[in-house]
Amino acid sequence: MSRRKRKQKGRLTLGKTRAAHSLRSDERGAVTRRMRADLHEPNHIQTAAAAPEDACAREAEPVPYEESLLENARTQWQFGDWERLAALNLDRIQHHPQRAKLALLAAAGHFQCGGLNDAHRYVRLAQDWGCNPRLIAQVLASGTHQSLADAAKHLDQTARAHQHTVASVKVCGVPGDHQLLARVRLAWENLKTHRDKGAEERGKD
């Protein structure tokens, strides 16, 4: 082989060696960049994953409610304090653990106060929130007896009013002396009647 050809072959080999070395350098750089990206990627994933957990933690925070609300509502139902039962609005009952029963008692109040649309709305809420269908039927039957008692009272049929009031309390399975509870409810109704009449007379003056 001539000297000239050997020089050309040597330069070609040197060029290939440099090109291979340059390629390996580029590959090493790419690998290094991928490694750096892989090292940082879990941090991004952890940060992104932490956000929903924080949001869920905020959503899971318990909402305060009136602990004595149901007990007070039951007492108001026994006394026949329908106005206060009708005042149980959605904001007060929706976060309560016994909201289904509270919605049903609110419906009873609206029925006796003449707010039929609101009464039906709260009955549907009680159903949607899982209230026992039997309890719903009992409270509605109780309201029917109470309406009959009010009608008898306005007709001065005291004995019949008392009978329907006893039935109104008894149909819901309320423990205790039903006769006494009926007398208490009738006394409360009479007190409200006298109060309303007094307010009307003062308004006329």
| Domain range list for the chain | 1-61, 69-204
Helix axes 99-113, 116-128, angle to 10 degrees: 160
User: Can you give the pTM of this predicted structure?
Assistant: 0.66
How buried is 65 (Cβ within 10 angstroms: 0-12 exposed, 13-18 middle, 19+ buried)? middle
Quote the pLDDT of residue 36: 47
Give pLDDT, residue 195: 75
Mean pLDDT per segment of 10 residues, for the chain of length 205 residues? Answer: 52 51 51 46 40 50 83 94 95 95 97 96 97 96 95 92 94 87 87 72 67
Q: In whole angstroms, what is the distance from residue 80 CA to residue 84 CA?
A: 9
Q: What is the pLDDT of residue 127?
A: 98
Q: What is the pLDDT of residue 47?
A: 37
Predicted confidence at residue 138, as pLDDT, reads 96
